[in-house]
Amino acid sequence: MGMFKERLKGFTGTAPIFPLPNVVFYPKMFFPLHIFESRYRQMVADAENGEKMLCMALLKPGYEEDYEGAPPIHTIGTLGYMEFKNDRSDETSDLLLVGVTKVKISEVESNHDYRIADLDPISESRGEEDTELLKEKVFRGFERMSARSGFLQIPKQFRDVIDFEMAVNFLASHLPIDGEEKQKMLELDDVSLRAKILVQFMESGIGMEEMGVFGSIAPGDPRLN
């Protein structure tokens, strides 16, 4: 998956922050966004003319009191590359972000209506586990949840083409748990440990009908800016 490292080449270390409630973006994931707020339309325009990078960050609880300002965010997030952008006639935009790397966020003073940060990439390890075996355990847990709810099975072709980290982060992204809990998993630097937590969660008996995976974006979804 060299495309992720390729997107990071030449990165200066500074990017706009895009804070969202209850949404945690993981490395090596693809994330659709619909942009309509004026400050974020300007942010996207500036990013497009620059390095095409945005840093996704989770807003801390209580953000509603200062949403239009600069409410507190978690200081670990994911740097995303704007892989695709489609401008609409109503001046809104659709984006597809690619998660390039996990980062430490150090917010700096901004002369714009949006926030900016210095970002330090964070490397993740795989521990000493047999990652192929752990990957299979993660997928088997997903399939058992799916079978209980009569939902879908993940095609073997999909399982074969994605690597261990992508598999773990894909399922972590879609678990029906609070954003704060997903944030805790993102902050783990050991992907194998993240996988073990996923397996334990999926073995707890939760059904796919509670997950909403692959469903259409509903009104109020934070991805709708």
- Model pLDDT for residues 63-117, shown as the tens digit of each residue: 888 888 889 999 999 999 999 999 999 989 999 999 999 999 999 999 999 999 9
Query: Which pTM does this prediction carry?
Result: 0.84
Domain boundary assignment for the chain? 2-123, 131-210
3-state secondary structure of 173: helix
Task: Answer for the pair 79, 15: CB distance below 8 angstroms, yes or no.
Answer: yes
Query: 30-35 and 53-58: which strand pairing?
Result: unpaired
Read off the amino acid at residue 199.
V
Q: Which CATH architecture has domain 2-123?
A: Roll (2.30)
pLDDT in tens, 129-170: 788 899 988 888 877 776 765 555 666 667 777 889 999 998
Structure tokens at 17: 């922050």
Q: How far apart are CA 105 and CA 180, in angstroms?
A: 17
Question: What gap in Å lies between CA 185 and CA 26, rounded to an integer?
Answer: 10
Residue 123 buriedness (CB in 10 A; 0-12 / 13-18 / 19+): exposed
Structure tokens at 170: 């894909």
Helix ranges, 29-104 (H): 38-48
CA separation for the pair 112, 90 (Å, rounded): 22
- The rounded distance, in Å, linking the Cα atoms of 180 and 74 is 9
